[in-house]
Amino acid sequence: MSDAFVSLTDLTLSYGQTVAVPNLNLDIVEGELIALLGPSGCGKTTTMRAIAGLMPPAQGRIVIDGADVTRVPANKRGIGLVFQSYALFPHLSAFENVAFGLRLQKLPQAQIRAKTEAGMATVGLTGFEARKPGEMSGGQQQRLALARSLVMQPKVLLLDEPLSNLDARLRLEMRNELQRVQKETGITMVFVTHDQSEALALADRIVLMKDGKIEQLGTPAELYARPDTAFAADFMGFENIFRVEGDALVSDSGRLPLGYQASAQILAWRPGGVGVGAGPHRGRVIASSFAGGHREYVLDSALGQIKADAPIDVPEVPIGQDVAFDLPQDTARPLAA
Partner 1 sequence: MSRLMIWLILGVTLTFLIGPFLIVIFAGMSAGEALAFPPQGLSLKWYAKVFTVESFRASFALSMFLAIFGTLAALLIGIPAAYALNRYDIPGAETIRTIVAAPIIVPGIIVGLALLRYFVVPLNVAITVALFVTHTALVLPYAVRVVSSSLNNLRADMEEAAVILGCTRLQAFTKVVLPNIRGGILAAFILGFVTSFNEVPASLFLSGPGVRTLPIDMLSYMEITFDPSVAALSALLAFMSVAIVFIAERLLGFSRYV
Ligand X SMILES: Nc1ncnc2c1ncn2[C@@H]1O[C@H](COP(=O)(O)OP(=O)(O)O)[C@@H](O)[C@H]1O
Residues forming contacts to Mg ion in the complex (CB under 5 A) are 45
Least separation in angstroms between residue 104's CB and partner 1 is 4
Interface with partner 1 includes 69 (CB under 8 A)? no
Q: 15 vs 260, which CB is nearer to ligand X?
A: 15
- Should residue 265 be labelled a site residue for partner 1 when binding is judged by CB under 8 A? no
Which residue's CB is nearer to ligand X, number 47 or number 142?
47
| Residue 76 beta carbon to partner 1: minimum distance, rounded to whole angstroms | 8
18 counts as binding ligand X under rule CB under 6 A: yes
User: Does 100 interact with partner 1 (rule: CB under 8 A)?
Assistant: yes
Residue from 11, 20, 178, 298 touching ligand X (CB under 6 A): that is 20
Residues 6+ apart with CB under 8 A from 141: 86, 88, 133
Q: Tell me if 164 contacts ligand X by CB under 6 A.
A: no
Instruction: Give the one residue of 39, 89, 186, 286 binding partner 1; rule: CB under 8 A.
Output: 89
Question: What's the length of the chain?
Answer: 337
| Closest distance of CB 137 from Mg ion, Å | 23
* Residue 248 CB burial class (10 angstroms; 0-12, 13-18, ≥19): middle
Contact 306, 287 (CB under 8 A): no
Distance, in Å, from the CA atom of 311 to the CA atom of 146, rounded to the nearest integer, reads 42
Per-residue binding string, ligand X, 42-71, x by CB under 6 A, is: xxxxx-------------------------
Q: CA-to-CA distance for 98 and 95, rounded, in angstroms?
A: 5
As a whole number of angstroms, the distance between CA 35 and CA 44 comes to: 10
| Count of residues that bind ligand X according to CB under 6 A | 11
Under the binding rule (CB under 6 A), the answer on residue 40 touching ligand X is yes
Distance separating alpha carbons of residues 184 and 206, to the nearest angstrom: 21
Cα separation of 45 and 93, whole Å?
28
